[in-house]
Structure 1
Amino acid sequence: MSSKKEVKKILNLALPAVGEMLLYMVVWVLDTMMVGQYGGKDSVSAVGLASEIIYTFAAIFVTMGIAIGVTSYVARSIGAQEFEKAKRYASQGIFLGILGSFIISSLMFLLAEKILILAGASGNVLALGKVFMKIASVGIFFNMVMSTLNAILRATGNTKTPMTAAAIVVILNILLDWILIFGKLGFPALGVKGSAIATTIAHIVGFFFVLWYYIIQKTLNLTFRDVLQYHHKLAIEIIKLSIPASLQEAAFDISRLLSIFMIMHLGTVAFAANQIATTIESISFMPGWGFAVAATTMAGQMVGAKNYEGAIRYTRISATFAASIMGTMSLLFLTIPKLLMRAFINDPEVIAVGALCLMVASIEQPFMALGMVYGGGLKGSGNTKIPFIISTISSWLIRLPLMYVVIYILKWGVVAVWFVTALQWSFEGTAMYLFFKREINKLKRAVKG
């Protein structure tokens, strides 16, 4: 039976994380709208493509890679009351985060044009995208290091400071977008270049806010000297845990891109309906992500304290909240799908197809919640390999082959594709739940043995 104290702790961790995701989604939407209003489809395409490339690489190697590894080790060390050990893991995680961020940022800057050409950009989209990527590559360095710092804060149970940092980044980004894209307050209208400058400045300010917090609050008593010291053994431990998490993100992102390419084969109506339905569904991801963060932190701390029943309870509470909220979204997808579609487009054909996609999406919401939360619990407990294996199977052995069959062989429409993703998430959610229980039981037996 879960106590009120445990429920409160989960909510205190999860809700700021959900708020953080909402803030970043707002800036993404508004940035796209302002760029589109200034420069039209070429500007939107350039910023959209360049951003997709930059943030995909950032997520694979740092945000969902090194950050996951350091979160797990710091959380477990804190749970075991080994604060000096937590400090060493945190300092080494920051060192690796800075190194990884510098490499990715440098490659984005030096190879911007080649990467965009490889992605299919040409003409004006290539020219604008190159300008955006070169400038934004500077900002993404600070963003990735900030993500590593935020991961450590979450491992200590602090999700409010990352949310505050996100609010600062978002407000500043939107304000600077308005000034620099359109040329307000005496500044020249810079369009895409202005958007990149705004994003970069916002990321730099957000980084320095989090750094200031570390210094003022003396988080884990970390010093600059600690961060600059390289410890081979600790670095290898973090990297070993980070690699499966990075590969999981890579497997998901690449399969998603291939899925989009296949759906484009179905025509513009199907593609537009799918993109809008996916955008609407992405709102429901946020509770799942927030409670997954809470599950990662608390499962890690409980496993570190060898309180395995506590790890089960905290993860179950997180899953219950995520499934309940995302289940409510299922009801909206079932009852008012056309109303949701009309908020994005007026085309009756696209609305009709997209509404059917959303109705099918209602099936997968509870399973998606379970997959995200119990996957987070597994990572917190120190097992990143199982989530990677499960996600790889669901993406590459279920989703892509079945999508190929329904699109190219059976020649069914995009709605059938959403039935495939519902099947994929049903497998992933069930598998994450079963393997989380298995992992905790294995840890229990190891202690008894």
Structure 2
Amino acid sequence: MRLHKETVEDVLKLALPAIGEMVLYMMIGVFDTMMVGKYGGNLAVSSVGLSTEIIYTFANILIAVGVSVGITSLVARKIGSKNYELAEEYATLGFCATMIISLLFSLFILLFSSSILRLAGAEENVINMASPYMKIASIGIFFNMLMNSLNAMLRGFGNTKTPLFASAMINVINICLDFLLIFGKFGFPELGVRGAAIATSIAQVSGFGFICYYVAYKSKIKINFKYIRDFKFQMLKDLLKLSVPSSMQEAAFSISRLISNFLIISLGTIQFAANQITTTIESISFMPGWGVAIAATTLVGHKVGEKNYEKAKDYAHTSIVLGSGIMLVCSFLFIIMPKLLINLFITSSEVDVINLGSICLMIAAIEQPFMGISMIAGGALKGAGNVKTPFIVSFISSWVLRLPFMIYFVYFLKLSVIYVWMITTIQWIFDGLLIYYLFKKYFNKLKTTV
């Protein structure tokens, strides 16, 4: 397929700020893991790693890849058809739904953190360190989820720069407070893992405050609660029609991954720490895929709203080529410098963690381009209003393929965490190839308009 300069520029104009936002967003967890690893070794990494996996798995299912996807897709299509008032009404409805979901989720984490960790199979020393982290982090995640829904509205409008700036601000605050509160610098108390949670929560509250100010005073579309007084049930159905399948897609993938982490932690803190550090590094690498997927959802949504299906196809194919190409570069970095990357997250004395993590990272290099194809083809399908196909593919690859192999090799045979990454690579190759085939089939059916 030939790439057109104008199309590439349109994709990059939206994708690059979105990629920056996603990378910066993930850097919150990266710096937390990095600093607590230097502070407390594999036990601290395991505690923070397990806590964040649990919290962000469900935050993503409910909001980031649930309600927020519905908001972005609906706002993008209404903006494309020049119906700004309806776009604003969908955004307001999505924000109100997020408020209710976020409050219930945060309270659940706050009240039941220890029980959740025991259910995950964590050892008592991990629970003692992780439970206070989760309780404090429950405050930050409430505001983070609210901010995510506002960012989804801005992205649907085509504004990916403001969420990028907010993420940069959050990171600066988080890094500074991590350094001060984890290690106890410049007269601040040495709080270790708890300090990391406090730093992240303060940063997320600050980010939410900034986005609220922008939406209230600068944004062209706003949250307007007058629409709640004239609530239309059909609009809620429209939002749920997109959000629920997207949420289920993320649930199919993330819950299977979370169960996998519960299985891995039974192998001990060294194996789990190696897995967690590899996962953290990989989470940075697939941010380009997520960023381009957001651009694909927005641009395809705009063109479908305009009924310009040929241009929608052009944006979709260009996004896939660009995004998977960027992730291929990450593959080379994983192969060339695995130990250097792992060393950033742990003390040099943790030789076993470094060696295991390096092997896992090199295996992860194989899955990167396939992961990119899966994310971006799925994003393009969501922009066109097809959220069922990504869910079905994710369900098959996660629950029919990945999880049974994980249970057999890790739980029953107690094999090394290296096998986890072999299984994950097979999963992503299958996932990427299948969703690309279904994506092409779906987009070929779209009618062409002149």
Q: TM-score, normalised by structure 2?
A: 0.88
Deviation (angstroms), 1:165: 0.6
Gaps of 5+ in 2: none
Q: Equivalent residue for 2:368?
A: 365
1:148 and 1:271 mapped to 2: Cα distance? 32
1:234 and 1:252 mapped to 2: Cα distance? 28
- 1:104 maps to a residue whose letter is F
CA contact (8 A) 1:95 1:230 kept: no
2:315 and 2:22 mapped to 1: Cα distance? 21
- Select the structure with the greater relative contact order (CA < 8 A; seq sep ≥ 6): 2
2:55 and 2:411 mapped to 1: Cα distance? 31
2:303 and 2:315 mapped to 1: Cα distance? 9
CA contact (8 A) 2:46 2:276 kept: no
Q: Equivalent residue for 1:145?
A: 146
2:45 and 2:344 mapped to 1: Cα distance? 19
Task: Describe how 1:102-121 pairs up with structure 2 within 5 A.
Answer: 102-121=103-122
2:430 is matched with which residue: 415, 427, 448? 427
Kindly tell me: are residues 122 and 341 of structure 1, through their superposed partners in 2, closer, same or farther at Cα, counting changes over 3 Å? closer
Q: Equivalent residue for 2:400?
A: 397
Q: Describe the SS at the equivalent of 2:427.
A: helix
Kindly tell me: are residues 91 and 261 of structure 1, through their superposed partners in 2, closer, same or farther at Cα, counting changes over 3 Å? closer
Q: Equivalent residue for 2:48?
A: 47
Higher alpha-carbon deviation: 77-86 or 193-202: 193-202
CA RMSD for the aligned pairs? 3.1
1:188 and 1:73 mapped to 2: Cα distance? 47
Task: Describe how 1:40-439 pairs up with structure 2 within 5 A.
Answer: 43-121=44-122, 123=124, 125-226=126-227, 230-263=231-264, 273-337=274-338, 340-341=341-342, 354-404=357-407, 415-439=418-442
1:350 and 1:46 mapped to 2: Cα distance? 15
Higher alpha-carbon deviation: 217-226 or 148-157: 217-226
Q: Describe the SS at the equivalent of 1:444.
A: coil
- The size of the alignment, in residue pairs, is 447
Kindly tell me: are residues 363 and 93 of structure 1, through their superposed partners in 2, closer, same or farther at Cα, counting changes over 3 Å? same
Deviation (angstroms), 1:221: 4.6
2:281 and 2:190 mapped to 1: Cα distance? 32
- 2:59 maps to a residue whose letter is A
* 1:138-189 Cα deviation digits (max 9, x unpaired): 2211110100000111111111111111111111122223333444454444
1:367 and 1:226 mapped to 2: Cα distance? 42
Gaps of 5+ in 1: none
* 1:220-247 Cα deviation digits (max 9, x unpaired): 1543434665332211221222111111
2:117 and 2:310 mapped to 1: Cα distance? 49
* 1:317-345 Cα deviation digits (max 9, x unpaired): 11111121122223334445455555556
Higher alpha-carbon deviation: 193-202 or 305-314: 193-202
- 1:381 maps to a residue whose letter is A
2:354 and 2:133 mapped to 1: Cα distance? 33
- 1:369 maps to a residue whose letter is G
1:440 partnered with 2:428 = no
Higher alpha-carbon deviation: 264-273 or 381-390: 264-273
- 2:96 maps to a residue whose letter is F
Identical aligned pairs, as a percentage?
A: 52
Deviation (angstroms), 1:255: 1.4
Kindly tell me: are residues 320 and 298 of structure 1, through their superposed partners in 2, closer, same or farther at Cα, counting changes over 3 Å? same
Q: TM-score, normalised by structure 1?
A: 0.88
